[in-house]
Amino acid sequence: KKRKNGHREKFNATTTKRLDHAEFIKKKEEMAAFRKQLPIYSGREAIINTLQTSDTVIVMGETGSGKTTQIPQYLIEAGLASSEIGSVAVTQPRRVAAVNLAKRVAEETMTRLGSKVGYTVRFDDTSSPQTVIKYLTDGMLLREILSDELLLRYKVIVLDEAHERTLRTDMLFGMVKKIQKIRLERQGQDGILPLKIVIMSATLDAEKFSEFFNNAKILYVSGRLYPVDTMFTVEPQADYLDAALVSIFQIHVNNPKGDILVFLPGQDAIEGLTTLVNEYSTQLRPTQQKLLACPLFAALPPSQQQKVFDPAPENTRKVVLSTNIAETSITIPGIKYVIDCGLAKLRGFNPKIGVESLLLHPISKSSAWQRTGRAGREAAGVCYRLYTEDAFRELEDDTVPEIRRCNLAAAVLSLKASGVENVLEFDYMDRPSRASLVRALEELYALGAIDDHGNLSELGKQMAEFPLDPTYSKVLIQSKEYGCSLEIIAIISLLSVDSVFFTPSDKREQATEARKKFLHPDGDHLTLLNVLKSYWEVKGDIEWCKENFINNRNIKIAMEVRDQLIRFCERIDMDPKSSCGSDTDNVLKCFLTGFFQNTALLQPDGSYKSVAGSQNVKIHPGSAMFGKRVEGILYNELVFTTKHYVRGVSAIQSAWLPLAAPKYFNNVRS
Ligand code: ADP
Ligand code: MG
């Protein structure tokens, strides 16, 4: 069922305004002329020929050359896809890109969005049975595979932005390749037609992809790129927002015409800088060109996104403040100057609790070059990197594939939930070792996410809904049973940040003293909860944070994670407010349902020995449990320095263990 939404109506309002015939012809000619001047157009015949003769094609070409908007249209124009033989699906890692590209291509084809050209993203679908070109997020295509195993409604699958290498894109590579093979074998049965696969990207190890896809043909689309001068800062910048602001005004005051594109890590930074630019620009001399800030990020209302593409008003320079959407997915005309802060919020896993996204990360060298390239699309340009040349040399060459970054148990759970039954035999582009896959399966089994037959259990299905490492999602889901979701959500969120305490090196003693009032006798988990309760009582007062040596910024980040987790709980009908009040043993028992392997018991000599590995572990001096002797402990992590230290420690009773993980402890005992 199609959902009504603001931009769809808006779009209808503008395009159904009847163009009279002359206007229509004029617009159509303009669009045709625009399409013909794109760099990709000169290769149109060759591209169509190759697509006709090959089942799989890899297309590489500079961002903005026309891959994403033109190739699907070429496929339709050449009759390689149609409403009769099957349509074209084009995947995008980001929903903003999927939506914008569909709009653009509908405009180019002079059709109403949702008829010939449409998009499908989570909670918003404008496609219809007439749709022959559909832009969709990779997550949505994975979902479609669950209901249409061979993706029979499509004749061509275009996997765009293949270099992103998220877990989802990697899964699609393997799954689509398999679907292609099956469709070839069953060709003709029940009218099954072979599937064509097109892999596209601006920045790709094309040979590696070609090898994975049975030596697929590689097409290079020549782009136009003018020289771009690249500048580094001499000193590292403590505050990239401040550095970006200064650079924007320096460019504006000293450099000739041309718009500015600033790459920033996320919405907060973009909104902050937008306000600052608009404020400061009122102080420009009246004779000077004006400056107009245009933000661009995923959550921006679509009506505002359009501003980015519209030419700046008379006598005004546009400053586009964008996340990495503008790096390769979306091309903005008129950019001559790029400012690159060198950071991105990577969709990825926070190593502490495995929560997805929200992670500020230095970009890779290949991202830095992509950003630089945005300045040279229409003429020579300049790129200002807000970091030193040394810092640049330290960057990773390419973004590391997510499957190498995240906890493998989370990846395996996700694969299983997407219908991959045999994860050992799955066709990975970067195959994890067999041993590590087996370990991940064992972990999931111990957690109860998969059953004795290796199938996903009901619990496992729920766990896969959470963007968390499986141990944490298990704890979160079990909190329903223990009646302590409020506490569990709060503690997990706080564990996602480095520390909620602030310990300046010159005030170590005062900080330790201040911390004492939050200490809970049962350890670190409940101590964190105490901090948050006090923080809520004073409504996050900054002065209170300073006086109590609480890291206000980190708590704020943790609260964002909390909001995210609350939304996920509501989605699976859990009450995120259920609380066990003063009966805090329940909180620790609940943690044990996920962390039963991270436990140790007190030995007669006063040391602690781990239950899983029979290893001597020491409580870290930073823990609330340091120096205490209790029957047993549970811990978040084991760190190796000179000794095996455990951190994030709480007291438990050994009798709780078999109750928390009956399967695991029965096996250990027998
Ligand atoms: P590629 O996929 O190779 O990076 P695209 O097909 O996305 O290139 O874009 C080709 C060209 O189409 C861009 O250079 C840009 O000029 C134009 N274009 C794309 N989207 C829009 C839009 N929403 N508004 C105006 N022009 C656009
Ligand atoms: Mg593209």
Instruction: Give the tens place of pLDDT for each residue, 328-349.
Output: 888 888 999 999 999 987 655 5
Residue 601 contacts residue 654 (beta carbons within 8 Å) = yes
Query: Environment class of residue 342 by beta-carbon count within 10 Å: exposed (0-12), middle (13-18) or buried (19+)?
Result: buried
Residue 283 contacts residue 276 (beta carbons within 8 Å) = no
ipTM of the complex in this document: 0.98
CA 263 to chain centroid, in Å, comes to 16
H helices, E strands: number in the chain: 27, 21
Q: Looking at the CA of 161, which ligand is closest?
A: 2
What integer pLDDT is reported at residue 28 of this predicted model? 92
C-beta 68 within 6 A of ligand 1: yes
Cα–ligand 1 centroid distance for 243 (angstroms): 30
Atom of ligand 1 nearest to the CA of 71: 6
Cα–ligand 1 centroid distance for 35 (angstroms): 10
C-beta 64 within 6 A of ligand 1: yes
Atom of ligand 1 nearest to the CA of 200: 2
Is it the case that residue 9 has pLDDT exceeding 50? Answer: no
What integer pLDDT is reported at residue 545 of this predicted model? 95
C-alpha R_g of the chain: 28
Per-residue model confidence as pLDDT tens digits over 618-634:
999 989 999 999 999 99
Per-residue model confidence as pLDDT tens digits over 587-623:
999 999 999 999 999 999 999 999 988 889 999 998 9
Atom of ligand 1 nearest to the CA of 65: 3
Atom of ligand 1 nearest to the CA of 329: 4
Three-state secondary structure call for residue 634: strand
Q: Any residues with CB less than 8 A from the CB of 310 and at least 6 apart, and which?
A: none
Q: How many C-beta neighbours within 10 Å does residue 425 have?
A: 8
Cα–ligand 1 centroid distance for 591 (angstroms): 49
Residue 232 contacts residue 372 (beta carbons within 8 Å) = no
What integer pLDDT is reported at residue 614 of this predicted model? 84
- Three-state SS for 1-17 is CCCCCHHHHHHHHHHCC
Mean pLDDT of the chain: 89
Residue 460 contacts residue 413 (beta carbons within 8 Å) = yes
Segment holding 142, helix H or strand E: helix 138-147
Atom of ligand 1 nearest to the CA of 69: 6
Q: What is the layout of strands, in order, in the sheet containing 335-340? A: 228-231, 381-385, 335-340, 259-263, 316-322, 290-296
Classify 446 in phi/psi space as left (phi over 0), alpha (psi -120 to 50) or beta. alpha
Is it the case that residue 158 has pLDDT exceeding 50? Answer: yes
Is it the case that residue 577 has pLDDT exceeding 60? Answer: yes
User: What tokens were used for 266?
Assistant: 């996320």
Confidence grade of residue 14 (pLDDT, cut at 50, 70, 90): very low
Segment holding 460, helix H or strand E: helix 458-465
Is it the case that residue 425 has pLDDT exceeding 50? Answer: yes
Cα–ligand 2 centroid distance for 92 (angstroms): 9
Is it the case that residue 405 has pLDDT exceeding 80? Answer: no
Confidence grade of residue 665 (pLDDT, cut at 50, 70, 90): confident
> To test the ligand 1 pocket, which listed residue (67, 331, 378) has its Cβ within 8 A of the most ligand atoms?
331
Residue with the nearest Cα to atom 25 of ligand 1?
309
| Mean of pLDDT values over 572-601 | 95
Is it the case that residue 139 has pLDDT exceeding 70? Answer: yes
Q: How many C-beta neighbours within 10 Å does residue 14 have?
A: 9
Work out the percent of the chain whose per-residue pLDDT is above 90.
Answer: 65
Q: What is the spatial distance between Cα 328 and Cα 207, in angstroms, rounded to a whole number?
A: 20
Query: Environment class of residue 537 by beta-carbon count within 10 Å: exposed (0-12), middle (13-18) or buried (19+)?
Result: exposed
What integer pLDDT is reported at residue 136 of this predicted model? 96
C-beta 329 within 6 A of ligand 1: no
Residue 138 contacts residue 414 (beta carbons within 8 Å) = no
Residue 210 contacts residue 172 (beta carbons within 8 Å) = no
Q: What is the pTM (predicted TM-score) of this model? A: 0.75
Q: How many C-beta neighbours within 10 Å does residue 315 have?
A: 8
Residue with the nearest Cα to atom 10 of ligand 1?
66
Which range, 382-386, 451-455, 564-568, is most confident? 382-386
Is it the case that residue 499 has pLDDT exceeding 90? Answer: no
What integer pLDDT is reported at residue 261 of this predicted model? 97
C-beta 61 within 6 A of ligand 1: yes
Confidence grade of residue 435 (pLDDT, cut at 50, 70, 90): confident
Is it the case that residue 325 has pLDDT exceeding 80? Answer: yes
Work out the percent of the chain whose per-residue pLDDT is above 70.
Answer: 94
Per-residue model confidence as pLDDT tens digits over 87-100:
999 999 888 899 99
* First-residue to last-residue Cα distance in the chain: 54
Cα–ligand 1 centroid distance for 69 (angstroms): 6
Cα–ligand 2 centroid distance for 310 (angstroms): 19
Cα–ligand 1 centroid distance for 331 (angstroms): 5
